[in-house]
Chains A and B, each alone.
Chain A
Amino acid sequence: MRALCWMGVNDLQVRSVPDPQIVNSHDAIIKVRLTTTCGSDLHLLGGYIPTMREGDVIGHEYMGEVVEVGRDTARVRPGDRVVVPSFFGCGRCWYCEHDLWSLCDNTHPKPELQEPVLGYATGGIPGYSHAFGGYAGSHAEAIRVPHADVNCFAVPDGVTDEQALFLSDAVPTGYMGADFCNIHPGDTVAVWGCGAVGLMAQRSALLMGAQRVIAIDRLPERLALARERIGAETIDYGESESVMEQLREITGGRGPDACIDAVGMEAHGTGPQYAYDRVKQALHLHTDRGSALREAAYACRKGGTLSVLGVYGVIDKFPFGIIMNKGLTVRTAQQHGQRYMRAMLEHVQKGELDPSFLITHRMSIEEGPRGYELFKNKDEGCVRAVFTP
Chain B
Amino acid sequence: MKPQLPISPRDVADKARDVLARVRPPATHARRSLPIRHSAEDLPRLWSDADARAAVLAGIPVADAAFEVGRDLGEWGTVVTVDLQLESPVPGVAAQVLAGKVVRRLKALAETGEVPTTAENPSARTDAQGEAA
Interface residues of A (CB under 8 A from B): 1, 3, 5, 7, 13, 15-21, 23-26, 53-57, 72, 90-94, 97, 105-112, 115-116, 121, 124, 133-136, 140, 144, 146-147
Contacts and interface: CB of A to CB of B under 8 A. Distances in A.
A29 B98 CA distance: 31
Given A18-B129, A94-B75, A136 B113 contact: no
Interface of B: 35, 37, 75-77, 93, 97-98, 100-101, 104, 107-108, 111-125, 128-129, 133
A87 to B, nearest CB: 13
Given A18-B122, A56-B124, A94-B76, 12 more contacts: A7-B124, A17-B122, A17-B124, A19-B122, A20-B122, A23-B117, A56-B123, A106-B108, A112-B97, A115-B100, A134-B121, A146-B116
A105 B122 contact: no
Contacts of B125: 53-55
A110 B111 contact: no
Contacts of A147: 112
> What's the dominant secondary structure at chain A's contact region?
loop
Contact of A112 (B37, B100, B114): B100
Contact of A109 (B37, B93, B97, B116): B116
Contacts of B104: 105, 108, 111, 121
Given A111-B104, A112-B101, A133 B114 contact: no
A25 B122 contact: no
Contact of A25 (B77, B107, B113, B118): B113
Given A7-B124, A53-B125, A106 B112 contact: yes
14 contacts: A18-B122, A24-B114, A26-B112, A53-B125, A56-B124, A57-B123, A94-B37, A94-B77, A105-B107, A106-B108, A112-B100, A112-B101, A116-B93, A124-B116
B94 to A, nearest CB: 9
Given A94-B77, A112-B101, A134-B133, A26 B121 contact: no
A177 B122 CA distance: 33
Contacts of B116: 24, 106-109, 124, 133, 146
Given A106-B112, A109-B117, A134-B133, A1 B122 contact: yes
A55 B107 CA distance: 30
A56 B75 CA distance: 37
Contacts of A112: 97-98, 100-101
A329 B104 CA distance: 32
Nearest to A142: B122
B124 A15 contact: yes
Which 9 pairs between the two chains have the least Cβ-Cβ distance?
Answer: A109-B133, A55-B124, A55-B125, A15-B124, A106-B108, A24-B114, A109-B116, A17-B122, A55-B123
Nearest to A27: B114
A140 B112 CA distance: 27
Contact of A21 (B37, B113, B115, B120): B120
A71 B101 CA distance: 26
A72 B111 contact: no
Nearest to A111: B104
Contacts of A108: 104, 116
Contacts of A115: 97, 100
Given A55-B125, A94-B37, A115-B97, A135 B118 contact: yes
Contacts of B112: 26, 90-93, 106, 147
Contacts of A146: 114, 116
B111 A93 contact: yes
A93 B116 CA distance: 13
A124 B117 CA distance: 10
